[in-house]
Amino acid sequence: MMAFDYINNCSKFSRQLSKIGGNSMSAEYGADQIQILEGLEAVRKRPGMYIGSTSSRGLHHLVYEIVDNSVDEALAGFCDQIEVTINMDNSITVLDDGRGIPVGIQKKAGIPAVEVVFTILHAGGKFGGGGYKVSGGLHGVGASVVNALSLWLEVRIYQDGKIYQQRYERGKAMYPLKVVGECSSDKHGTEVQFLPDPQIFEETVYDFEILRVRLQETAFLTKNLKIILRDDREEKRKKIFHYEGGIQEFVTYLNRSKAIIYDKVVYCEGSKDNIYVEVAMQHNDSYTENIYSFVNNVNTPEGGTHLAGFKNALTKTINEYARKNKLLKENEDNLSGEDIREGLTAIISVKIEEPQFEGQTKQKLGNSEARGAVDNIVSEQLTYFLEQNPNAAKTICEKSVLAQRARAAARKARDLTRRKTALEQMTLPGKLADCSNKDPEKCEIFIVEGDSAGGSAKTARSRDTQAILPLRGKILNVEKARLDKIYANAEIKAMITAFGTGIHDDFDITKLRYNKIIIMTDADVDGAHISTLMLTFLYRFMPELIGQGHVYLAQPPLYKLEKNKRIWYAYSDDELNQILKEVGRDTNNKIQRYKGLGEMDAEQLWETTMDPERRILLRVNMDDDVISELDLTFTTLMGDQVEPRREFIEANAKFVQNLDI
């Protein structure tokens, strides 16, 4: 999900640095300084290497690791149901009805196999040997990493009418595996309960919604698997995910806030070269493509060979059909892949025995045979679909031709946004006041609402490192516009030119002229709307800026309190109440509610919002793990369909804070 994380530039560190005694550092470096981290110590020492971070993202990743093991059982055909429970103490329980982790003695280690799985890195059933034909986890670290980073973990295995149990604390077994009871002979599966270690994680409170998004996606990708998510804390909640249609239902779900242009979801399924391929797709009337690729249920946000195979098959097949049926004239160019994919929602899911991912993050598939398998299956079955559904085929081709024409117009407009010389910056649309420093690492640009705030900001700024770009009014809602309209918008052209990166296919982050892009709007409804329009544009056409942490929201104060010639600034109602509690509530208090940045003079704006030493910024982040849900949120809030937006507002109204009415 997109999250706004506080980045306090007052340089407050979460860690205390140990002081070095004496005037010189120790120069001792011998054999005794070389340390060997045994067992799971390495995981506890460097958790970020294994789960990405120790923030909320890493915390939730622990759940995914255990759930993914259960999903592998489902992919192998032995598991029908997974239950995930958030317990009262914020521990997590994951129960499946798979075969159960083996309890017999592993010969090489001399201990039960279940203990091997939870205490030894790079141990698992996915390295060959016939335990699993396909699997998302191939490194054998998931269960042991969760164990290492938990205050405690208990595993129970239901097998052959017996219940086996073992408990671990910070990765170490408390007692040997033992039988703790009996169960019916037909009961089987694994139950894992763990409590994340507060010494490792910055926060240990689980978010129901984050788990909901990931588990729902997993259920879509695993046809007929039932996943139950429970929250046993104060707000008792329960969600059941069970999709017989699998990824076809996933496409329908993602298109629910859009107007589809033909009724059927195109579904292609088949096997080639020991690769099982599933593809589902459907066009809508939007101007953006939303394509998600998976390998053994693992999201591959950077695509890979399976995505390349899909794109090639789609472009080739649609062009062949359009030519054959005279939907493209002889003198017209072929449709490009981009033209055809405009408004397309698609899921590509492949199951492969030995996937070759690029790195532990598994973000890109490298298997060359996957390209041919996807290309072959999609080409063949998409051809059948087009021939059997001529109306849908005609609609796809007509939309693609319109996209082609718009793209040609956009190409002409695009050249106008490209910076040619440094001299041009003074005459750029949007009244850019650039900074004098040419080192992008030291520079930042404030996108400011209106000339009034722009004037104060230009006076207040540090001319060396801070640029100001005032915008007139609200920018175009890019969710409802084609590329040619976007390039024609003066405010957007100003931003594209100022940033220097280009957009869409021309985007090159190495040309970014500012390390920080800071959206600074009024603290009212209009300001929030402008921020949202800005974020929509950046997310749709420059997502890498967000992904690499270059986009921020400025946090101007809401209140100014003056008493006895002293001044305090409050950034929320709670902060104002705290200040009033300390200074006393009486008639000497002069409280001003800032509705707009234009109400502040340059000195106040610098002091509260622009000074790197004192300001508070919100950094905009996005999570690749739930990118499909993020797309859906933007479409719901910024798209044409009113009903999904109304439903969203009704569902989330209770969470609103500081409502400005």
Q: Bridge-partner residues for 552, per DSSP?
A: 518, 619
d(CA 540, CA 348): 21
Annotated catalytic residue within 115, 231, 375, 449:
449
- Whether 113 and 120 have beta carbons less than 8 Å apart is answered as no
Token readout for 13 is: 């560190």
Q: How does strand 444-449 pair with strand 516-520?
A: parallel
Chain centroid to CA 19: 38
Annotated catalytic residue within 41, 80, 526, 640:
526
Tell me whether residue 582 is one of the annotated catalytic residues: no
For 304, which DSSP code? Answer: B
Instruction: Tell me which amino acid residue 509 is.
Output: I
d(CA 212, CA 206): 11
Q: In residues, how long is the chain?
A: 661
- Whether 521 and 530 have beta carbons less than 8 Å apart is answered as yes
Q: What is the largest CA-CA distance in the chain?
A: 84
Edge-to-edge strands of the sheet including 590-593?
566-570, 559-563, 590-593
Element (H, E) at 413: helix 390-414
DSSP-derived secondary structure for 434-465: --S---GGG-EEEEEEHHHHHHHHHHHS-TTT
d(CA 133, CA 355): 11
Residue that the structure tokens 């603290």 belong to:
523
d(CA 281, CA 374): 14
Is the alpha carbon torsion for 336, 340, 344, 348 positive or negative?
Answer: negative
Chain centroid to CA 583: 43
For the chain, how are helix, strand and coil distributed in percent, rounded to 5? 40, 20, 40
Annotated catalytic residue within 522, 623, 625, 629:
522
3-state secondary structure of 93: strand
d(CA 102, CA 305): 35
Contacts of 484 (CB under 8 A, 6+ apart): 406, 407, 409, 410, 413
Annotated catalytic residue within 207, 369, 524, 599:
524
3-state secondary structure of 348: strand
Q: How many CB atoms lie within 10 A of CB 410?
A: 18
Contacts of 241 (CB under 8 A, 6+ apart): 215, 216, 218, 219, 220, 226, 227, 228, 229
| Strands, E assignment, 315-406 | 344-352
Is the alpha carbon torsion for 375, 381, 385, 386 positive or negative?
Answer: positive
Tell me whether residue 526 is one of the annotated catalytic residues: yes
Catalytic residues: 449, 522, 524, 526
